[in-house]
Amino acid sequence: MESEKTQFQVIEGGPLKVSGPFKISGPDGAIISREGPVYLCRCGHSTDKPFCDGSHKRNVFSE
Ligand code: FES
């Protein structure tokens, strides 16, 4: 059985999609996510960082 690999996909004008096994920890070291796929904010406008909340649709940014 092939083990699942972690994959990262840059979505043009949007978030970074992460799928496969991974862990995200907050500033205090506590795990805040371990199931994929998740979408990580690249635009800086999300109110739910590090996750994308769709704010990039109202705040266009360049790659
Ligand atoms: S990339 Fe979606 S809110 Fe920032």
Query: Tens digit of pLDDT for each residue in 18-27?
Result: 999 899 999 9
CATH number for the domain that contains residue 42: 3.40.5.90
According to the model, what pLDDT value does residue 62 have? Answer: 85
Alpha carbon distance 2, 25 (integer Å): 26
Q: Which residue segment(s) compose the domain that 44 sits in?
A: 7-20+34-57
Ligand 1 nearest atom to the CA of residue 53, by list position: 3
Model pLDDT, residue 1:
54
Task: Measure 29 CA to ligand 1 centroid, in angstroms.
Answer: 23
pLDDT (0 to 100) of residue 10: 97
Residue 62 belongs to a domain: no
Question: For the segment 14-52, what is each residue's pLDDT rounded down to a tens digit?
Answer: 999 999 989 999 999 999 877 779 999 999 999 999 999
In a domain, 2, yes or no: no
| Structural domain count, the chain | 1
Q: Is residue 14 part of a domain?
A: yes
Q: Single out the residue of 33, 35, 1 nearest to residue 19, CA to CA.
A: 35
Q: Is the pTM of this model over 0.75?
A: yes
| Cα(49)–Cα(51) distance, integer angstroms | 5
Q: Is residue 29 part of a domain?
A: no
